[in-house]
Homo-oligomer: A and B are copies of this chain.
Amino acid sequence: MTAASADEPENESEPEPGTVRPGGRTARVRTAVLRVAGDVLAEQGFAHLDLADVARRAGVGKTTVYRRWGSVTGLVADLLGDMAEQSLPRTETGSVLGDLRANAALVCRTLADPRQGALFRAVIAAAACDARTAEALRRFYEVRVAEWAPCVEQGVARGELPVGTDAGEVVRAVSAPLYYALLTSGVVPDEDAGERAAAAAVVAARGGVFVA
């Protein structure tokens, strides 16, 4: 883990001209803090997230962390925003089934990854009892669905799926069984589950189930 140095000045209102690398101090502090926040969420859960502890582990001044993120929920909201920005672009294979299999494989890899899987479970759990986290989580999935929706729209344009198919519904249908198995039964989705999720969504979409 790359920690921002604790003895750099805390004044980050405006970086001095000419001294800032791409990324700069503000970006380095954010990277370090969000990395630690993600680690704590994945390892211990939302209840153990504490701004002073995050500052210490990230090697960043406590004042900086309080001033910038304000609260634990503010920090989690920023983490989710960063995860949406950093997440992978969609795959284009030339067929809607191929594209959605790639989407399912990405979801499976994410949920099966020890850190990422635990992080998602922690944030989803936190969203159940915290409105700000719930809103940040909703926006995260909105961004991800919007990223993959063109795969479905192209499938409609190519005549693979009926006109009027709700692209967002199809993309969500791919993720749903993978998340459901993990959250309700602790079943980490494997490659077969991903294939089945993509196939089920495409067969149902072809059948017109998702025509709005």
Contact = CB atoms under 8 A, between A and B. Distances in A.
A127 to B, nearest CB: 7
A129 interface: yes
Contact of A180 (B126, B172, B203): B172
A122 to B, nearest CB: 6
Contacts of A183: 124, 127-128, 179, 183
A86 to B, nearest CB: 18
The binding surface of chain A is classed by DSSP as helix
- Between A122, A177, A204, the greatest number of chain B beta carbons within 10 A of the residue's beta carbon is seen for A204
Q: How many copies of this chain sit in the oligomeric assembly?
A: 2
A135 to B, nearest CB: 8
A186 interface: yes
Given A204-B203, A204-B204, A210-B200, A128 B125 contact: yes
- Between A185, A186, A199, A203, the greatest number of chain B beta carbons within 10 A of the residue's beta carbon is seen for A185
Contacts of A20: none
A137 B184 contact: yes
A209 B193 CA distance: 11
A169 to B, nearest CB: 7
Given A121-B128, A128-B122, A180-B180, A200 B186 contact: no
8 contacts: A121-B128, A121-B129, A125-B125, A137-B184, A138-B184, A175-B180, A176-B179, A179-B179
